[in-house]
Every structure is written in structure tokens, then in C-alpha cells.
Structure 1
């Protein structure tokens, strides 16, 4: 399906939308740096959809760093690939991140239903294959993703599957194993398979979603009674091996690891555990800040500011509960106000911009 929004119209529309918010060169640079931190969802399953056209305009204007596809965006192969072409063509400078959840099993947006090759869940892949065999499977997955226009897979899951009653990981076979060393080996195979064809990946859900009996999509999660130290082992081993592109933090609280806050909003978790203790210095991103675990406790712009202060570089906003066509404008404005007031140091935005630029250069 061809896009109805030409490049000339992109430029005109983007300039008109941006004009009220950009008053000088430095402001434009600030807007662009913050915009690159936003990975946004959208409504629609084809390039003609108003929600998709709106996000493309934001990407063109530098107010969004990329697009995240959810289930409602992935109905047909023709629609999916028209959308990825639309978003890729919208960017004027830095290429956009075009992301999708493609783990295999129950979490794969591209599968038999829309014309792609289904992949077994992680648990089955690890049970039936060596790490080298898994790498080949995931290289095949990545080739299909790249051909469809995606450059970022929001996977693999590196949670441990030791709690059989877990409703979000073990229930669906999303874990490669029950111990950190096994999960690290197969997680590294997943990443290597994707890197072999130039697709980025994001490890999730830091610091570990495998022990809880609660789904963070539905309400806040406290890991304190159930979490175990082995859940950090995949991050430690893969960080030492240079086998991480992005780490996605979960909306998971722990009295010590996160200071009682969700990890996505916790400087103790991101700057302390992930960066200082584990040693990972690449891009840290949030899980969707529109999920109930966050939405029930914080206004969205407040969650964004807290997530940036915690050390996150990339913010996932599905914009799905009540889609707001001007969400990037509101978020950029709130972040700039937080910098102006001293609540956020300007250096935090600059560091995020550097990490994202390096990531996009490597992918």
C-alpha cells in the first residue's frame, strides 16, 4: 500500500507543526535530542492510517526517535511493510528505530497469521537446540524482521523460569531456562543471530520478572519476597561479553535493588545496579510507561521525567490507552521544563543522545 504522504508534504507539515515550539537553534537541538529518546506506539495497521501518518510527521520533525509496533498494528504483511517504509522514509537525519516484540511462541507480532515464519517459544528452543542451533534459528527470525523493515527486536527475555506459577514468563514458556548461566548462553545466541544480519535487540525485563506471581501489565509488582540474585547473572555475563545492545527495565520494585520504586523509575536500579555494579554503559530503555503498573501511580509526563532522571536513555510510550496525537510535543515540553528548573541536569539528555547515536550507528 503506498503512503499518501509525500516527502515534500512531510517537510511542509513538519515545519508547520514545529514552528510554535522552536524559537532558536539551541531550542531546536534540545527538542531533537529529547525527541530521539522517544519510541512511540501508534494506531492503525497500514500506512494510510491517521495515527501512522501523524507519527511519521513527528519522526520527520525530529520529535520522535522511532516507532513501536503492537498487535493491532500487525494485521497483514502488506500493512506491516507499508508502515515500516513510511517511518523509514520520514527521517531526515538519524534513522528511526522501528521496533517490534518478536520473541517466538506467544509473543511474536510477525507469524503465520500475517504471512511470516512462526518460531517456537524460548523454552522449547533451548530444550531442543544447542546455543549454536538457537543462534541459527534466531538469525532466520532476524532476516525476516530486517526484510520487513524492522531494525530493533524488543527481545530476548532473559528472565529466569524457575517459578512455574509465574503468569507472565513461565506460563508462556518465555524463559530459556531456570538458571542464570543457561539463560545467558541462549540470550547471547539470540543476540548474535540478530547481529549477524544487522538487527538490534533489547534484553528484558531488568532486574528480573521470573519470580513474581503478578503481571506488571496489570498492577505494580514488588519483587522483594521472591527475587533471587541469580536473576542478574544473564546481564552480568552478557555485559562482560559485549553481547548487549539495549537493556529494558521492568516496572518491578525491590526494597534494596530499586529502593522500593519500579526499576524503570529508579536511579538505584539503573545507575547503581545496571551501570555501576554490572558495568553496562549502553542504552537503557523503559518498558511501556503507559502500562498499568506506572499509569496507576504517576501522570505520564511525571513518569517520563522520573525515568530520565533514573538513567534511562530510551522511553517506550505505546500511546494506546487514549491515543494523543500531540504526545511528543507534551513530553518534550515537560522534559525541557524539568531541565530549565534544574530537576533534570542537561547532561542527562546529552548522555542519552550520545548513547542513542552510537546505538543507531552500530545497528
Structure 2
């Protein structure tokens, strides 16, 4: 009698590659937001193909191009900017999130010299501590953004001014106060004024960057010895009040929370603290994935895989630090597709993020 054992000659089998359908590819595109060069459509053909063929979810606008050290990048005047935004949206099947860092004061992309209204810093508003004053400046900012067609402001900063010498927050007057109730009060006003004009806001930088002594644009930041749970109070308060459209993570380490990864790449921070403990169910966006704190320490694919599996919904690639990459949108989308195909990121994670993003866009 001959015993035949089926398949004994085949050897070890390769794991199945997950099929990524056109529908899933389109969903993956929505998870990517990129920066680009150009003040008009004629200059920005690659961003158009990213919108048209990759279905990217958004763009981020800057007035200064860091890699070349030159202006203008995307912004030169109100009429130019409103035309650029309208042209970008005309190529998008799903409306784009058009984002900008328009905090006021030092972090101000829409400068008076280009024909935009004056601004003041959050620190100034916190020191004045008058609700009507904050409402005036926030309302003026939101009106300007609405007129330009910009539908997402990466503000307000809800970091506490724990360390006034912090090189990325305190030194640039970006925090309302070291007092969490003052931060919550003025952030809420800021958000409501933007909502009145149909502009989304994004609180940042979770779980708190205000105590840091170094800048995550340049290198890894460790707040283990300086951070306190008090820095979470604005998140609890604003989320409980239903005022949070979007939250941005910081590239900071706190070894007491996660001994291995910074917040942007950390399941403990995002799924554990922000989603479960604080109860936030909305869109979470990364800070720029090309900052030194991420780019210098983690590979492109590893950083993307860690961020998405930790709970990030939208990845920002500003294309405005280090070397400019005209193919960054394609590189990012293809990386996510590959990670899904290899089973590193479950399709269910893509579906979750897509559903959150589309719910947010439906509110516009």
C-alpha cells in the first residue's frame, strides 16, 4: 500500500498577500495630507495628480518654503490664495481638507504684508483674559479663512505654558496660559468662532508639548521628567463639551506612558489614553511625519505602520522640512497600500479612519 501525503513536496507556503481593491486604495488616499510647492495651478501639476488619481484627503498650505529658504511657497495675496484653493478643490472628487497653521502671532501664514488682517498670539489673549477680545481675534481669523476657502485651521494650541522657555511653544507665545482653565476657556471660544464660519479646528499637541526643553522639528523630545497629567485637562474638557473636530499628536516621548515610542507612534498614548481613557472618537491627525523627531529615528514604512496601528487617522507630510519630495503623496499612499497587502495594517483600520474622515467632511 502506498500512502500519499498531499502537499508534502510544497515546502513552506508564503503568507497570502491581502488584496487591496480600488475602493480601499481610495480610502487610503483620504488618510494622507501633503504640502506642495506652487502659488497657482500651473505650478502644481503633481499635486493635481495626487488629488485626481490618488484621492488624497487634504493639503497643507505654507507661505515660506523651508528647504529652499524662499518665499512665496503657496501664499502671496488674498486673491491669489482664494483662486489656488478653489482650483485645488475643483480637481477633488471628495472635498479636500485644506489646512493651515494660522494660530496668530509668530505662527501666522497669512501675513499683513500679503494683504491679510493683523493677528495676535495666544499668549497675548491668555494674558488679557477677556472673552470678547478672544472672540474678536478668533472671529477675524475664521472669517479670513472662510473667505479664502480654507476649511481647517491647525489651532488652537492647548499646550500649557509649563516651561515659558520651551523652544517650540513658550518661546513663540503659542500657549494661552500655564493655567488649564484659561487654556480651555479661550480654546473653546476660538473653536466656536471658527465653527460659526464653517471652519474646522484641530487641538494640539497631544498629550502636551508645553513642558519640553527641546524642539521636535529638529530631534526627539523627552518629557518624561517634566510632563504632568494636568496637561490633559484641556483635552478632557473640550472633548466632553463636544468641541473637538480633530486632535493632533506630538512627537514626544514619555517613558512612564510608553517606554518605546513617541506619542504619534504609540498605541498606549492614542488608543489607550486619548481614545479609551479620555473617550475621544473623532479624527486624530499626526504632526508632520517628516519632522526630525520621526524622520531621523524611524524608517518611512515603520513610522507609517506604527502611526496607523496606534490610531492615527490622517498622516501629514508637510514636504516643508529637509529635502523636498515632489512624489511624497504617491510614496505615502503606496507605502500604506504595501503595508496593508503585507498584513502589517488591517483593512479594518483603514475603514475606521475613512469613516471618521468622511463624517468630519460631512460636517463642513
Determine the C-alpha separation between the residues in 1 that align with 2:260 and 2:54.
Answer: 35
Structure 2 unaligned blocks of 5 or more: 1-18, 65-73
Determine the C-alpha separation between the residues in 1 that align with 2:292 and 2:331.
Answer: 20
C-alpha displacement of 1:111: 2.0
Determine the C-alpha separation between the residues in 2 that align with 1:153 and 1:188.
Answer: 14
**C-alpha offsets along residues 252-301 of structure 1, whole Å, 9 cap, x if unaligned?**
11012334411111111100000001111100000000111111112223
- Superposed, which structure 2 residues align to 1:142-181 within 5 Å? 142-181=142-181
Tell which deviates more after alignment, 231-240 or 123-132. Answer: 123-132
Determine the C-alpha separation between the residues in 1 that align with 2:87 and 2:300.
Answer: 27
Residue 102 of structure 1 contacts residue 109 of structure 1 at CA under 8 Å; is this kept in 2?
A: yes
* 1:355 matched residue in structure 2: 356
C-alpha displacement of 1:103: 0.2
Matching residue within 47, 52, 66 for 2:58: 66
* 1:335 matched residue in structure 2: 336
Structure 1 SS opposite 2:202: strand
Task: Determine which structure has greater relative contact order: mean sequence separation of CA pairs < 8 Å that are 6+ residues apart, divided by chain length.
Answer: 2
**C-alpha offsets along residues 21-48 of structure 1, whole Å, 9 cap, x if unaligned?**
xxxx962111110100111100123332
- Superposed, which structure 2 residues align to 1:2-21 within 5 Å? none
C-alpha displacement of 1:74: 2.0
Structure 1 unaligned blocks of 5 or more: 1-24
C-alpha displacement of 1:182: 1.3
Determine the C-alpha separation between the residues in 2 that align with 1:147 and 1:204.
Answer: 24
Determine the C-alpha separation between the residues in 1 that align with 2:282 and 2:323.
Answer: 32
Structure 2 SS opposite 1:204: strand
* 1:10 matched residue in structure 2: none
Residue 100 of structure 1 contacts residue 153 of structure 1 at CA under 8 Å; is this kept in 2?
A: yes
Stretches (4+) displaced over 4 A: none
Tell which deviates more after alignment, 288-297 or 52-61. Answer: 52-61
Residue 43 of structure 1 contacts residue 323 of structure 1 at CA under 8 Å; is this kept in 2?
A: no
Determine the C-alpha separation between the residues in 2 that align with 1:316 and 1:257.
Answer: 24
Residue 215 of structure 1 contacts residue 221 of structure 1 at CA under 8 Å; is this kept in 2?
A: yes
| Residue 189 (structure 1) aligned with residue 189 (structure 2) | yes
Which structure has the larger Rg? 2
Residue 47 of structure 1 contacts residue 79 of structure 1 at CA under 8 Å; is this kept in 2?
A: no
Determine the C-alpha separation between the residues in 2 that align with 1:301 and 1:114.
Answer: 38
Structure 1 SS opposite 2:90: helix
